[in-house]
Chain A
Amino acid sequence: MAKAKGDIIIDVEICKGCELCVEACPENIIETAKQVNNKGYLYVVKVEDSCTGCTNCALVCPEAAITVYRKVKKKKELVTKISNVTSDITLKVGK
């Protein structure tokens, strides 16, 4: 099972189903839905949870319809944890 490092929210009502994000996604986790939105477009949806939060889909989206989240490494926290505790925790935070 893929481990999610990021996530996207697609505003399906402004999506026009151009599929440029489908093309741009390196994880191949965006697909065209089986139904249309209120404007009559076959919108796109995320179908798997392996999003890395790379933002490629949002960058090429002509509708500014995609919001992207990515789990950020907090450098300070990371350093503190590495120095203070065990490698067990750093594994969870890091890659």
Chain B
Amino acid sequence: MSKLKLMKGNEALAEAAIRAGCDAYFGYPITPQSEVLEYLSREANKRTGMTVLQAESEIASINMVYGAAGTGKKIMTSSSSPGISLMQEGISYIACAELPCLIVNVNRGGPGLGTIQPAQSDYFQSVKGGGHGDYRLIVLAPSTVQEMSDFVKLAFELAFKYRNPIMILTDGALGQMMEKVELFEQQPREDIITGWETIGKPEDRPSNVITSLHIKPDKMEEINIHLQEKYKKMEENEVRVETIDCDDADYIITGYGLVARICTKAAQLARDKGLKVGVIRPITLFPFPYKTYFDIADNVKGILDVEMNAGQMIEDVRLAVNGKIPIEFYGRMGGMVPTPEEILEALETKLIGGKDE
């Protein structure tokens, strides 16, 4: 086992990018994720020759990613909520042109300029498309600094497996907090040329074109059908979810990312009081673990959904459970983080109705 290091989430993510053999990072500073650009500016080029460029805006960043990802190399960017909003057009282009890349959103409180504190209010934007048109990103939600590192490697694997942009959706707290992390070994930077890339046309093949423009509607529908088939495959093969103490549970608390860890503490407090409570933590937000919720709904009395927003993932939880059992919501907004005690109280008052008091 390699040695443990104490690192900030943002730095672990940046370190993981270098180790994953990432070829280029294009980004723009924004709190609470500027450490990613700073760390890479300091470390990346001298160690692996990786390109790191501070762009003039998030719009430029994502379009540099678009151009560079079209060459088949491992390309990434990171930003935080307002910056990710600016990138949405580019993400839509990248999704339609089927370019592999990694986009990291260290979510902060919104709407508007909002706050620099952690939030999960970009769930809809990340999971349901965000930009224009019918497209999906695989969205990975780390809940530890360890996963901030591990998911970078996973993201690049998935990006190339599906030729699709992957998003790591995390938040300002995970980005800023320090934890122990076991870093994976340095991967080589290698070209994986499979034939579609715009790298210069040799004589023996037609020119490659990367575009999201298909002016004839039958062709554009064909592209859409192809994309939807790809998303379907992701739904079949890439669902990742963690269940904690759900086997004997009467109630479930569910949340993703940082919130899942607070939910786990809340479930322990509940168990201390004799309440049988389990936790479901979706790791992939798209594809969403609908089946896990659907199945568990037969064995429990209700689910408390906890988020750092006004209630976004709860819509997917409700879809999953399909009315079988009550679903209640507890959320904090604008950069506030719920405490385990608040969650336990919400569980008791909203779901259990105080009858076990």
- A and B touching (Cβ–Cβ under 8 A): no
Residues of B at the A interface (CB closer than 8 Å) are none
